[in-house]
């Protein structure tokens, strides 16, 4: 599922009724979760965090901005934080299943709607900026609300969307796209914030002032201090003392964890602390963190141990939490701290125990049915393949194939996760088709809309099992690579994994066949069976090859 975070800031931090009215708009929007509401009295500003599907986030953000315009009068606003509008800034943040570029398109969509329907001047910033001078939020907001009326008269500062007209009540809104910012603190075994600051100066991208042998700051011809760059890009850091914990911390804002991953921040801080006689005792995530940031940390630390990172997600998260010491000052609960876990609300069939799932399949309801069972078969095949890889890594006599086996194990876990998701997707696809069938057909317009929804649902009911087949093909490709090099004591499991993949593909193929006859799109109807047949033939041929390898290695 594509998941987007949005962190709109509203110029009201004191009136609880206004804040509630704005956040109620978000709560009332489908496919969106309100994650946090943080009002500040001194700043007279509230930072709201929400996440959900792209369409849901855009709808919720628009409704919240609309409500803010109705209830907040900027001509009467005073606060410590820079601001220029009732809905001051609204950044979109890609979390998973969506790119920066796609979020930029969403930002334009939201900005256009705010400008056209609410008549609010809108500027785009960061990745969504339309010119270099608008990339920085500080540059766009320079002069704040008090300078906005004159600013709008300057063609250089014409808004990207909406009227170049001053609205005393609403001001202007800045909408943009940025990477996820991780607020991350490193715990130290000292109360001396000067030592924490020393580490911060060494790691942060901005670095520190260069000094001569006598400790005097070296300056350039204009008198500006010459800087020595820090060790980590996309990293802002300070050192401070936290009375609540009785310890000093290196407080970090990691502005792009994809460039500087969290595990690198932790390891570098450990080395820097050791240089000055300190120890890192753990770390702390303030707020939420994307799942990928922890998964990459788990993979990294498992690899350092010489183990395969091809293990279940839950284990990768556990390894990351334990190694980074994320529960040092307070318990780190993934369900509360990982943004995807906070947002995901769909009840999965795989949350059932095995007996209940089998019982559910045996009932008179047509879903879950053969499609979900096929996907489950594939997931079991991928799981067996991953197990065999884990039983090969680190074993004597298999030293030459370690890297290849680790790579296969990671692929197997990814395929397993995809097929587990497809267990639910297949049942949802069937339910969507049934819902489309029940749409009204009284008028010609009703019939047209109903036919469109049925066609859309039918194609999806084909694409889901086709994805099961594609994933099953991926399993067979991995099995071909693993069969010759894996631990011979687990070679029978390679054979069983292949049989599960064959079952998954064959069962999914039947689901493609039964639905394709109802498709109206001739191109889709012609091309899809061709791909289905190609996959099935490939899998049949590879099954024979794998079976021969398994039998041969069992005899050797």
Strands 45-52 and 182-188: unpaired
Tokens linked to 388: 């065999």
Query: Which listed residue (167, 187, 328, 426) is catalytic?
Result: 426
Number of other residues whose CB lies within 10 A of the CB of residue 212? 8
d(CA 459, CA 519): 7
d(CA 41, CA 303): 47
Q: Which helix (H) or strand (E) holds 42?
A: none
3-state secondary structure of 476: helix
The answer to whether residue 167 is catalytic is no
d(CA 538, CA 548): 16
| Nearest of 384, 386, 378, 383 to residue 502 by alpha carbon | 378
The answer to whether residue 426 is catalytic is yes
C-alpha dihedral, 420 to 422 to 424 to 427, nearest 10°: -150
Strand ranges inside 395-542, DSSP E:
none
∠ CA 118-54-176, nearest 5°, is: 60
d(CA 520, CA 254): 50
| CB of 469 closer than 8 Å to CB of 505 | yes
| Nearest of 160, 94, 98 to residue 131 by alpha carbon | 160
Q: How far apart are the first and last CA of the chain?
A: 46
| Nearest of 32, 30, 180 to residue 98 by alpha carbon | 180
d(CA 504, CA 180): 37
d(CA 53, CA 539): 35
3-state secondary structure 303-357: HHCCCCCCCCHHHHHHHHHHHHCCCCCCCCCHHHHEHHHHHCCCCCHHHCCHHHH
Q: How far, in Å, are 104, 246, 489 from residue 118 at the CA level? A: 20, 49, 68
Q: How far, in Å, are 12, 166, 206, 254, 497 from residue 145 at the CA level? A: 14, 10, 30, 29, 64
| Nearest of 167, 156, 192, 163 to residue 87 by alpha carbon | 167
Query: Which listed residue (81, 192, 292, 481) is catalytic?
Result: 81
d(CA 476, CA 439): 41
d(CA 55, CA 144): 30
Is the bond preceding residue 368 a cis peptide, omega within 30 degrees? yes
Residues 6+ apart with CB under 8 A from 140: 123, 125, 134, 174
Would you name the residues annotated as active-site residues?
A: 81, 426
């Amino acid at each position: 599922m594509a998941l987007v975070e949005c962190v709109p800031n509203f110029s009201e931090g004191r009136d609880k009724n206004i804040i509630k009215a704005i956040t109620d708009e978000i709560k009332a929007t489908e496919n969106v979760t309100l994650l946090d509401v943080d009002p500040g009295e001194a700043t007279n500003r509230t930072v709201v965090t929400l996440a959900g599907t792209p369409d849901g986030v855009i709808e919720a953000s628009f409704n919240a901005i609309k409500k803010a315009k109705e209830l907040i009068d900027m001509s009467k606003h005073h606060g410590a934080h820079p601001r220029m509008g009732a809905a001051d800034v609204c950044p979109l943040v890609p979390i998973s299943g969506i790119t920066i570029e796609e979020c930029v398109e969403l930002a334009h969509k939201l900005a256009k709607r705010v400008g056209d329907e609410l008549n609010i001047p809108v500027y785009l910033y960061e990745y969504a900026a339309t010119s270099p001078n608008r990339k920085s939020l500080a540059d766009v907001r320079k002069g704040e609300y008090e300078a906005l009326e004159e600013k709008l008269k300057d063609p250089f500062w014409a808004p990207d969307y909406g009227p170049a007209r001053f609205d005393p009540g609403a001001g202007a809104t800045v909408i943009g796209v940025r990477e996820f910012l991780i607020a991350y603190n490193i715990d130290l075994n000292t109360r001396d914030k000067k030592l924490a600051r020393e580490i911060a100066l060494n790691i942060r991208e901005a670095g520190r002032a260069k000094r001569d042998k006598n400790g005097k700051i070296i300056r350039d011809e204009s008198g500006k201090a010459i800087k020595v760059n820090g060790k980590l890009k996309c990293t802002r850091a300070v050192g401070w003392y936290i009375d609540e914990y009785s310890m000093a911390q290196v407080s970090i804002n990691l502005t792009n964890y994809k460039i500087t991953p969290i595990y690198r921040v932790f390891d570098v801080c450990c080395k820097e602390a050791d240089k000055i006689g300190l120890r890192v005792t753990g770390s702390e995530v303030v707020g939420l963190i994307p799942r990928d940031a922890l998964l990459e940390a788990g993979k990294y630390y498992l690899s350092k141990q010489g183990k395969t990172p091809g293990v279940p997600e839950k284990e990768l998260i556990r390894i990351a939490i334990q190694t980074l010491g994320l529960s040092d000052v307070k318990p780190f609960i993934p369900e509360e701290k990982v943004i995807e876990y906070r947002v995901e609300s769909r009840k999965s069939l795989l949350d059932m125990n095995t007996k209940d799932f089998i019982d559910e399949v045996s009932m008179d309801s047509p879903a879950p049915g053969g499609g979900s069972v096929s996907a489950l078969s594939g997931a079991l095949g991928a799981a067996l393949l991953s197990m065999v890889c884990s039983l090969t890594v680190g074993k004597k006599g298999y030293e030459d194939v370690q890297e290849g086996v680790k790579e296969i194990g990671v692929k197997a876990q990814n395929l397993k996760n995809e097929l587990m998701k497809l267990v639910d997707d297949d049942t949802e696809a069937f339910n969507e088709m049934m819902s489309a069938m029940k749409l009204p057909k009284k008028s010609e317009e009703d019939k047209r809309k109903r036919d469109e929804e049925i066609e859309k649902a039918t194609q999806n009911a084909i694409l889901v099992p086709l994805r099961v087949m594609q994933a099953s093909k991926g399993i067979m490709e991995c099995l071909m690579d693993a069969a010759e090099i894996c631990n011979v004591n687990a070679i029978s499991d390679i054979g069983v994994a292949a049989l599960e993949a064959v079952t998954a593909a064959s069962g999914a193929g039947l689901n493609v066949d039964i639905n394709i006859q109802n498709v109206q799109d001739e191109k889709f109807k012609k091309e899809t069976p061709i791909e289905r047949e190609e996959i099935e033939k490939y899998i049949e041929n590879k099954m024979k090859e794998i079976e021969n390898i398994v039998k041969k290695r069992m005899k050797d």
